[in-house]
C-alpha cells in the first residue's frame, strides 16, 4: 500500500545545506527525519535474496508523474543508474539535493510525455534515497552498514516487481533504464515477460565484463581504504566524519569512465584553475579542480556503503546466468525493444549493445542498436536529450 508520512513523524536531522561550505556529513543518504520532498513509500515485506538470506520489511521509495488510465495500460517504469534515484524530474529543494536527472526526457510534451503516460520511478533496493539500504535502520535498531546483505541485479528487480504489485500494477507499457537501470530492464524482460510490453535498454551491457568489474573494484577499495570508513559503521561516528575522501575518490575514478578523453581535452586542455602555474608549484590544473568539485559534491547526496552495495550488484549482472547463456536469454524476450549505445562509451562499450540488439526478435531498429554519436561518452544517455528522446518516441509509438 502507498503511504507518505507527515513531516513531523520523526525528529529532524541536522544536515548541511546542499552546496554549503564546511565539512560534508558522514553520509549523504536520505535518513528518517529528513524532508520527504516528492517521495512516496511502499512497504513490500520480507524479500528472499538469491544468496538465501531474507531481507526483512523492505521499503521502496518512489516518485510518480502523470495520471494512470482507467485501464492501467499507460504505466512506464523508469529505472535509474548507479548514482541516480527516484527524482527523475523536479527542482532541487528540501529532500532533493539535486534537480531531476532526466528533465529533458520525462515531462509534459517530452519524449516520455506525462500528459499521456503515468510514470513511476523507484529508488533501487540497496540505494540511499529512501529505499531499504545500508543506511536504513536494521531490526536491531542500528544502521545496517556493512552488514547489509549482498544483493544482485535480479534481487533488485524482484524488489521492483514486489513494489509494482503493491501499487496494483500488473503490467508496464514500457520499462526504461540506462546503465545500471538497463541491467534491470533486461532482467524484467527475461524474468517477467508477461508484465512488460516494451523495453528501452540504454547504454547497458548483457553481462558485466572482467574489465568493468576491475574498474569497479578499485573504486570499492578507495572507499574501504578511507580511515573514516570504520568497517562501514560510520553513521554515528563520534567525530561526525564519514569516508567522504574515499567516496569522493571513487566518484572521480568513475567520472573518468563516464566521460571521454575528447571531452576533457577540448573542455580543459592544459588550463589551470588558479593564478599559479601548476608547473611552478601551488597551482592546479582545471581538470583536477573539476573532478574534485564533482567528487566532493557527490558526498553530500550519496552513501559510501550504498555505493559498494550497488557496485557489487552491477558486478553480479549476467543475463545468461542459469539460462543457457546470454544469447539464449535474449531469445526469450518478447517485448518490443529499443537498444541504444554510445559510440564513445568507454565504460559499457558499444559491442555490448550490439550483442543485445542482435539477439532480440522485436527490436525497433533491427539487429543493430541505435548508435548515439557523442563526445560525452557513457553519460550521453543523460545529456543528449534530442537523440535519446527521438529513439524513445519511436519505441513508444508502436
pLDDT per residue as tens digits for the range 267-310 = 999 888 776 676 766 678 899 999 999 999 999 999 999 999 99
Check: CB of residue 345 under 8 Å from CB of residue 378: yes
Per the annotation, the verdict on 378 as an active-site residue is yes
* HSE toward the beta carbon, residue 298, CA cutoff 13 A: 26
Query: Does the predicted model carry a pTM greater than 0.85?
Result: yes
Position 276 scores a pLDDT of: 67
Q: Which of 86, 135, 179, 363 is catalytic?
A: 179
Q: How much is the average pLDDT of 164-169?
A: 98
CA-nearest of 395, 397, 357, 398 to 200 is 395
Position 23 scores a pLDDT of: 67
What are the angstrom distances between the C-alpha of 206 and each of 10, 108, 157, 319, 352?
Answer: 43, 32, 15, 6, 6
CA-nearest of 347, 42, 345 to 164 is 42
- CA–CA distance, 330 with 379 (Å, rounded to integer): 25
Please check the confidence at residue 3 and state whether its pLDDT lies above 50.
no
Q: Which of 34, 345, 375, 379 is catalytic?
A: 345
Check: CB of residue 88 under 8 Å from CB of residue 101: yes
Please check the confidence at residue 314 and state whether its pLDDT lies above 60.
yes
- CA–CA distance, 153 with 186 (Å, rounded to integer): 10
- CA–CA distance, 385 with 62 (Å, rounded to integer): 23
Q: Which of 80, 87, 96, 378 is catalytic?
A: 378
Please check the confidence at residue 21 and state whether its pLDDT lies above 50.
no
Q: How much is the average pLDDT of 129-137?
A: 98
Position 344 scores a pLDDT of: 97
Cα–Cα–Cα angle for 279, 283, 287, rounded to 5 degrees = 95
Residue-wise pLDDT for 234-252, tens only, equals: 998 878 899 999 999 999 9
| 290-328: burial string, b at 16+ Cβ within 10 Å, e else | bbeeebbbbbbbbbbbbbbbbbbbbbbbbbbbebeebee
Per the annotation, the verdict on 303 as an active-site residue is no
- Residue 87, C-alpha cell as written in the block: 527524482
Q: Where are the domains of the chain?
A: 2-9+23-208+317-397
- What architecture (CATH level 2) is domain 2-9+23-208+317-397? 3-Layer(aba) Sandwich (3.40)
Per the annotation, the verdict on 316 as an active-site residue is no
Contacts for 17 with CB less than 8 Å, ≥ 6 apart: none
Check: CB of residue 299 under 8 Å from CB of residue 293: no
Amino acid at each position: 500500500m502507498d503511504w507518505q508520512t507527515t513531516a513531523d513523524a520523526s525528529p529532524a536531522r541536522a544536515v548541511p545545506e546542499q552546496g554549503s561550505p564546511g565539512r560534508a556529513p558522514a553520509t549523504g543518504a536520505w535518513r528518517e527525519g529528513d524532508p520527504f520532498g516528492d517521495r512516496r513509500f511502499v512497504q513490500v515485506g520480507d524479500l528472499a535474496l538469491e544468496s538465501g538470506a531474507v531481507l526483512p520489511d523492505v521499503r521502496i521509495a518512489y516518485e510518480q508523474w502523470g495520471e494512470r488510465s482507467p485501464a492501467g495500460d499507460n504505466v512506464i517504469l523508469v529505472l535509474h543508474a548507479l548514482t541516480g534515484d527516484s527524482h527523475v524530474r523536479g527542482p532541487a529543494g528540501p529532500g532533493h539535493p539535486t534537480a531531476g536527472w532526466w528533465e529533458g526526457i520525462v515531462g509534459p510534451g517530452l519524449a516520455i510525455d506525462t500528459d499521456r503516460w503515468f510514470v513511476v520511478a523507484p529508488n533501487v533496493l540497496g540505494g540511499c534515497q529512501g529505499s531499504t539500504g545500508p543506511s536504513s535502520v536494521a531490526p536491531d535498531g542500528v544502521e545496517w552498514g556493512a552488514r547489509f546483505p549482498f544483493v544482485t541485479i535480479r534481487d533488485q528487480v524482484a524488489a521492483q516487481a514486489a513494489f509494482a504489485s503493491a501499487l496494483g500494477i500488473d503490467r508496464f507499457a514500457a520499462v526504461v533504464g540506462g546503465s545500471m537501470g538497463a541491467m534491470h530492464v533486461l532482467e524484467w524482460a527475461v524474468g517477467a515477460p508477461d508484465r512488460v510490453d516494451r523495453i528501452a535498454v540504454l547504454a547497458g551491457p548483457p553481462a558485466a565484463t572482467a574489465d568493468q568489474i576491475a574498474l569497479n573494484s578499485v573504486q570499492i577499495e578507495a572507499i574501504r581504504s578511507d580511515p573514516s570508513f570504520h568497517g562501514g559503521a560510520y553513521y554515528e561516528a563520534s567525530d561526525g566524519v564519514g569516508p567522504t575522501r574515499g567516496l569522493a575518490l571513487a566518484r572521480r575514478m568513475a567520472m573518468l569512465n563516464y566521460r571521454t578523453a575528447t571531452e576533457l581535452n577540448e573542455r580543459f586542455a592544459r588550463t589551470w584553475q588558479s593564478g599559479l602555474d601548476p608547473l611552478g608549484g601551488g597551482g592546479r590544473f582545471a581538470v583536477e579542480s573539476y573532478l574534485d568539485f564533482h567528487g566532493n559534491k557527490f558526498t553530500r547526496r550519496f552513501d559510501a556503503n550504498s555505493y559498494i552495495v550497488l557496485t557489487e550488484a552491477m558486478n553480479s549482472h549476467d543475463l545468461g546466468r542459469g539460462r543457457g547463456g546470454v544469447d539464449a536469454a535474449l531469445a526469450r524476450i518478447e517485448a518490443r525493444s529499443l537498444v541504444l549505445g554510445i559510440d564513445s562509451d568507454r565504460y559499457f562499450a558499444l559491442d555490448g549493445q550490439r550483442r543485445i540488439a542482435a539477439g532480440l526478435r522485436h527490436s525497433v531498429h533491427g539487429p543493430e542498436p541505435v548508435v548515439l554519436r557523442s563526445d560525452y561518452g557513457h553519460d550521453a544517455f543523460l545529456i543528449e536529450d534530442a537523440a535519446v528522446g527521438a529513439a524513445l518516441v519511436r519505441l513508444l509509438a508502436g
